[in-house]
Amino acid sequence: AQRVTQPEKLLSVFKGAPVELKCNYSYSGSPELFWYVQYSRQRLQLLLRHISRESIKGFTADLNKGETSFHLKKPFAQEEDSAMYYCALSGRNSGTYKYIFGTGTRLKVLA
Amino acid sequence: SQTIHQWPATLVQPVGSPLSLECTVEGTSNPNLYWYRQAAGRGLQLLFYSVGIGQISSEVPQNLSASRPQDRQFILSSKKLLLSDSGFYLCAWETGSTGELFFGEGSRLTVL
């Protein structure tokens, strides 16, 4: 079955500390993984996608097919990083446009 | 540029009444369209998605249905609302080329 798991509902870190938001997935085909972010009173928006291998706002995420993980990392957290983060999986590489999300992790960066 | 609109933004309905939430995309053609329900602690639950006019994939058997009467219009409906249908509903679209989803403002439904 297709599934995205984010084990942490809430993650609190101090400003300047490293951040790692965990995401594990279950998918029988070739998935495409994404991280979305929702800042307070804003729409959900794309943060980054595994296929781009890019760093956005200092965040990176590496797809580990062996561990079926796509953890989001940032070496030094900023207060403006406080938001809700969702990991998502699309099956479009396998011929389906089914697009599912995890339950989300709220990141709080403390001053 | 592309835009997505959802309405109504807020809706309060009695149990047993019908529902119609509408989503329209502008500035693109043949988008893939999605309906999600967002609930605290439960993330975004995929309800329906559509890759073309009249093509609907249902992910969760429940009291809701979806239709796509036009290329850029996606409608979420119910004949008789239940209390458990209360929630925040999000419409989204993607072109299929980049995989990025673009979300609407959302519709908050309260069933009393």
Q: Which residues of B touch A95 (CB under 8 A)?
A: none
Q: Pick B1 or A56 by higher pLDDT.
A: A56
Nearest CA-CA partner of A28 in A95, A108, A84, A94: A94
C-alpha to C-alpha distance for B109 and B39, rounded to whole angstroms: 12
**For chain B, counts of helices (H) and of strands (E):** 0, 11
Instruction: Give the model's confidence band at A8: pLDDT under 50 very low, under 70 low, under 90 confident, else very high.
Output: very high
Tell me what pLDDT residue A74 has: 97
Shortest CB distance from A90 goes to which of B57, B90, B99?
Answer: B99
Q: Which residue has the higher pLDDT, A23 or A50?
A: A23
Q: What is the pLDDT of residues B1-12, one digit of tens each?
A: 789 999 999 999
Within 47-106 of A, beta carbons closer than 8 Å to B belong to: 49, 51, 86, 88, 90, 92, 97-104
Q: How many CB atoms lie within 10 A of CB A77?
A: 21
Neighbours of A3 (CB within 10 A): 12
Rounded CA-CA distance B53/B30 in Å is 8
CB contact under 8 A, A45 and B59: no
CA distance B20 to B94: 22
Q: Given an 8 Å threshold on Cβ–Cβ distance, is A92 in contact with B51? A: no
Q: What is the mean pLDDT of residues A32-61?
A: 92
